[in-house]
Structure 1
Amino acid sequence: MGIVHAKDSQTPGQSPRFNLECVKARVDKVRIEGLGRTKDDLLTNKVQELFKAQDFQEVILGAHKVRSKLESLECFSKVGILIDTSDGPDATPDGLEVIFQVKELKRITGSVKTLMGNNEGSLVVELRAPNMFGRGEKLTAEYSRGWSRTVGLSTTFYKPLAVLQNAGFSASLFQQGSEWIPSGYKLIERGLLLDLAFNSKPSLRHNIQWEGSWRELECLTRSTSFLVREQSGHSLKSAFRHIAVSDTRDAAVFPSTGTLFKVIQEVAGIGGDIGFLKNEVHYQHNRSLASDVVLQSAFQFGMLNTLSNHKTAKICDRFYLGGPLSLRGFEWRGVGPHDQGNSLGGEVFWAGGLHLFSPLPFRPGGGGFGDLFRTHVFVNAGNIAASSTDIKDYFQNLRLAYGIGIALRLGQIARVELNYCVPVLAQKSDHVSSGVQVGVGLSFL
């Protein structure tokens, strides 16, 4: 990246090389043009690394890093870079002046967009007030409606923090309504979520959260199981949650190398009538075998333990397994105990998968539309137990399926899978889905 080519007018056809590492340079001044309401102290720390540059290559690389940091503040609609020689009484012989030309966002912005979730699409209407007080704060109001009757309404205030690496604090008031047809219940949640996010390492992200929510669980139909009906009513949940994510993958969708490791720890019961300890682990590793041929292994595990007889977990707090995003070859929430056709979930589960992704045969549309597709061969297995004490069932009643299909990348965050699934091992209580299965989501097993 430090080698550039310049055309020599006296020797046509030849391109002399200039090694930018050999060009001594230092940054004397940094200017940011176009500022209005943005405060200087928000930007000072972002540009400090430019003054450490010792050659022209480091100046260029440092300027691009600073631009990325300025864009991540979400205060500007455009950030440009201009590098010029330094002048003035304080200028040094090798001195440069780096000028960032920015355009601030309007005080009020809005958008109407569609989002893809886990096997669901949503229409989202959003209003934002970016950079409210000049230090990167923003207020967001959002309304969403999904095609499976999920409705969400939230207001979030976000404040970046300079005391930690890439840190920010947010407070959200929310109301979320969802219908879970396989389990026969409808859930409405209203509450407050406080979130502190920061990086302990460049690739390790932490979220420390507190959630207080008033939840209303209702039967979805008259045929809902009695075991679901008896959990209907109102409940109050107060929970602390820690989420740690290490992601070294080169892409979120169709990665060729890298590992994703995610741990979620949640403790509920400090206030309210819901009490449990919940732990989840998600792991994914990608290995490139040949050109555009990737072997991917994935594993998920979860365990839920109630804390006391006075406080317990509801059916909406339990784990569920099965569907095109988790254990393929089974219906959505189709693995595990059922009663009158309703999935009851479990307190312990595990699931693993092995996948082989490769380009389409003969590479039609290579370099364009065809690069959005991958062929997909997989085998996945898993198990779920109604209680964390049912260790015997947990290890014996294995579910297993394999299949082949096509995957399509949607942007850089979601994908669609069209698979033909063949269940091999299943239990009597499971709801099997052999044949063609379609999945749309952000994260897959």
Structure 2
Amino acid sequence: MEQIPPSAASGTDAIFEIQRESRRLKDLVTNSQERALHVNSIRIEGVEHTRRSVVEALVKPILESQNLGDIVAESREACQRLGRLGVFRDVGVTLDTPTDSFGASGELVDVVLTVKEGPRFYARTGADFSNYDTTTNVTTKISNALGAGECLEANASYAVQPSVALNESAAAFTSETGSYFQVLCSKPLIPTPTFKRPNRADPDARIEFAAYSTNRNMLLHMSHEEQAKGLAARYKTADPYYGSHEFAYDVAWRHLHNVAQDGSWSVRQDAGHTLKSAISHIYSRDHRNDPMLPTAGSYVRTREELSGLGGDVKFVKGEAEGQWAFSLGNGFTLATSIRGGLVLPLLGQRTRVNDRFLFGGPNSIRGFRQSGIGPMDKKDAIGGDAYWGAGLSLFTPLPYLVDKPMKGHFFVNSGTLVPINTGDTVQQNAQRLIASPSVSAGLGLAVRFSILRLEMNYCLPLAAGMTDRIKPGFQFGIGISYM
């Protein structure tokens, strides 16, 4: 019979002993979670500029704990709330035994929260990307200005969008430029804690006040520029599971000006000044595992707007979009997206070109020019009152690039943008909306970056309306949200 060397036997015994000790500690922790334990005090260390009343409101729910498991869970949630306040760079928690560890109510424990505040002054220059613009920007920010998580922010940006010009005989490419300036003040709504009124303060509930000025050059697809100056008040909430809400009131003076000599009558009749006063609501919920190139999860966003609380622009507007991604295994992902919107004038008015929807382009219906789907007047894309769009994409792994943020891309897109004729019935308008959709298909590459997605596709328009502007062949897209 083979003899086990003494050294090997002792090593085996040591492994068994480690496993037994690990199981014992695991059982001890599990059994201790239900042990009656109360919080004697909460000590907060490292607070310099933040008001203690704000921090106390965020950590007070720890006092309601009845056992060790509750204390650990509430302490973890308190650390997360402190982190979401946007003031602290590091947050840690430890449990300590007070001098008198036993009392009438059972065992007591001290909770010690250690925080480190981040810098209060911040400045940044850089570039951001959206569905339609590449933007260079400058941002300055003062965080925790008054000690309660307030934020004072000023930013300026300049937007450029390379694309094909309206007058293709004059130049191959042009650029749409615009500027944006904003001063914003935001504050979390955190009540002062009281022992008579328990509360669970929410650092994600914030109010914002903003003043802004924008100027957009629309000459890529419309013959004018638009300037807007406005004030806005917003209330925001956020929840990682249920989604975020934003309620806003916005009043803006708008000026549609600098109409080109060959501009259409649709643009000319809406030129001049308007005052828009509107309330709006935005809901969004993002459960995707990656917002740029998801392989699983869902995303939903809705927006409703009512304009006409004063001013001379009156309409009701709604828009919704959703995306669902499914992993097929072996690096293959199927993603489907839908979008839709409707705007209706109120009190006998008609919709204006700067309030209608624009549709089409590399981030929505690929294979068509930017805003190239829907009604046209001469060379102007004058927008529509109702639209829908749908997309189906298959993302595939690439040979030798399986671990890279790059996928092969096969897609089919379809959608329609139409005006609403108030003299027609609902059925007639709905029939016109779904009767003859624009359709495209193609293949290409999708590359994920940290803040955007780049697509390089070969597009083939399969069906187009009489006024649509198609763009067969290669098309590049840069943005955050794709269909």
**TM-score between both structures, scaled by the size of structure 2:** 0.82
Q: State which of 408, 416, 419 in structure 2 corresponds to 1:375.
A: 408
The question of 1:151 aligning with 2:185 is answered no
Q: State which of 430, 443, 452 in structure 2 corresponds to 1:414.
A: 452
Match of 1:21 in 2: 30
Describe the superposition over 1:395-442 as per-residue Cα deviations: whole angstroms up to 9, x where unpaired.
Answer: 22211111112112221x421111111110012211101111111112
Give the conservation status (yes or no) of the 8 Å contact 1:29–1:86: no
Give the conservation status (yes or no) of the 8 Å contact 1:423–1:432: yes
Give the conservation status (yes or no) of the 8 Å contact 2:82–2:91: no
Give SS of 2:317's match.
strand
Stretch of structure 1 that moved more, 154-163 or 253-262? 253-262
Aligned counterparts of 1:375 and 1:58: Cα–Cα separation in 2: 47
Give SS of 1:118's match.
coil
The question of 1:32 aligning with 2:44 is answered yes
Task: Give, as a single letter, the amino acid of the residue that structure 2 aligns with 1:104.
Answer: E
Stretch of structure 1 that moved more, 433-442 or 22-31? 22-31
Stretch of structure 1 that moved more, 295-304 or 99-108? 99-108
Aligned counterparts of 1:91 and 1:115: Cα–Cα separation in 2: 57
Task: Give, as a single letter, the amino acid of the residue that structure 2 aligns with 1:429.
Answer: T
The question of 1:162 aligning with 2:220 is answered no
- Distance apart, 1:50 and its partner CA: 3.8
Match of 2:150 in 1: 137
- Distance apart, 1:340 and its partner CA: 1.7
Question: For the structure 1 residues 375 and 22, does the alpha-carbon distance in structure 2 shift closer, same or farther, using more than 3 Å as the test?
Answer: farther
Q: State which of 228, 231, 236 in structure 1 corresponds to 2:270.
A: 231
Give the conservation status (yes or no) of the 8 Å contact 1:187–1:218: yes
- Distance apart, 1:55 and its partner CA: 6.7
Question: For the structure 1 residues 160 and 9, does the alpha-carbon distance in structure 2 shift closer, same or farther, using more than 3 Å as the test?
Answer: farther
Task: Give, as a single letter, the amino acid of the residue that structure 1 aligns with 2:87.
Answer: C
Paired-residue identity, %: 26
Match of 2:112 in 1: 99
Larger radius of gyration: 2
**TM-score between both structures, scaled by the size of structure 1:** 0.89
Give SS of 1:101's match.
strand
Aligned counterparts of 1:67 and 1:79: Cα–Cα separation in 2: 9
Match of 1:5 in 2: none
Match of 2:59 in 1: 47
Task: Give, as a single letter, the amino acid of the residue that structure 2 aligns with 1:416.
Answer: L
- Distance apart, 1:379 and its partner CA: 0.6
Match of 2:211 in 1: 173
Describe the superposition over 1:90-143 as per-residue Cα deviations: whole angstroms up to 9, x where unpaired.
Answer: 567865544333232344322222211223221221111211221111111111
Q: State which of 67, 80, 85 in structure 2 corresponds to 1:68.
A: 80
Task: Give, as a single letter, the amino acid of the residue that structure 1 aligns with 2:117.
Answer: E
Question: For the structure 1 residues 85 and 326, does the alpha-carbon distance in structure 2 shift closer, same or farther, using more than 3 Å as the test?
Answer: same
Match of 1:205 in 2: 244
Task: Give, as a single letter, the amino acid of the residue that structure 1 aligns with 2:182.
Answer: S
Aligned counterparts of 2:83 and 2:239: Cα–Cα separation in 1: 21
Question: For the structure 1 residues 434 and 104, does the alpha-carbon distance in structure 2 shift closer, same or farther, using more than 3 Å as the test?
Answer: same
Give SS of 1:69's match.
helix
Question: For the structure 1 residues 235 and 206, does the alpha-carbon distance in structure 2 shift closer, same or farther, using more than 3 Å as the test?
Answer: same
Matches within 5 A, 1:22-421: 22-24=31-33, 26=37, 27-51=39-63, 62-76=74-88, 78-89=89-100, 96-147=109-160, 148-162=176-190, 165=202, 166-180=204-218, 181-199=220-238, 202-309=241-348, 311-364=349-402, 366=403, 370=404, 372-388=405-421, 389=424, 390-411=429-450, 413-421=451-459
Give the conservation status (yes or no) of the 8 Å contact 1:282–1:299: yes
Give the conservation status (yes or no) of the 8 Å contact 1:257–1:285: yes
Describe the superposition over 1:18-38 as per-residue Cα deviations: whole angstroms up to 9, x where unpaired.
Answer: 424234475544322111221
- Distance apart, 1:277 and its partner CA: 0.9
Give the conservation status (yes or no) of the 8 Å contact 1:420–1:435: yes
Question: For the structure 1 residues 35 and 12, does the alpha-carbon distance in structure 2 shift closer, same or farther, using more than 3 Å as the test?
Answer: same
- Distance apart, 1:52 and its partner CA: 5.5
Give the conservation status (yes or no) of the 8 Å contact 1:22–1:55: no
When the two chains are superposed, the root-mean-square deviation of aligned CA atoms in Å is: 2.6
Gaps of 5+ in 1: 1-7
Stretch of structure 1 that moved more, 337-346 or 257-266? 257-266
Question: For the structure 1 residues 269 and 312, does the alpha-carbon distance in structure 2 shift closer, same or farther, using more than 3 Å as the test?
Answer: farther
Task: Give, as a single letter, the amino acid of the residue that structure 1 aligns with 2:97.
Answer: S
Give the conservation status (yes or no) of the 8 Å contact 2:321–2:339: yes
Match of 2:168 in 1: none
- Distance apart, 1:61 and its partner CA: 5.2
- Distance apart, 1:270 and its partner CA: 1.5
Gaps of 5+ in 2: 1-10, 161-175, 192-200
- How many positions carry a matched residue from both structures? 430
Aligned counterparts of 2:101 and 2:135: Cα–Cα separation in 1: 56
Question: For the structure 1 residues 359 and 348, does the alpha-carbon distance in structure 2 shift closer, same or farther, using more than 3 Å as the test?
Answer: same
Give the conservation status (yes or no) of the 8 Å contact 1:402–1:421: yes
Give the conservation status (yes or no) of the 8 Å contact 2:90–2:117: no
Give the conservation status (yes or no) of the 8 Å contact 2:91–2:116: no
Aligned counterparts of 2:396 and 2:107: Cα–Cα separation in 1: 50
- Distance apart, 1:341 and its partner CA: 1.4
- Distance apart, 1:220 and its partner CA: 4.9
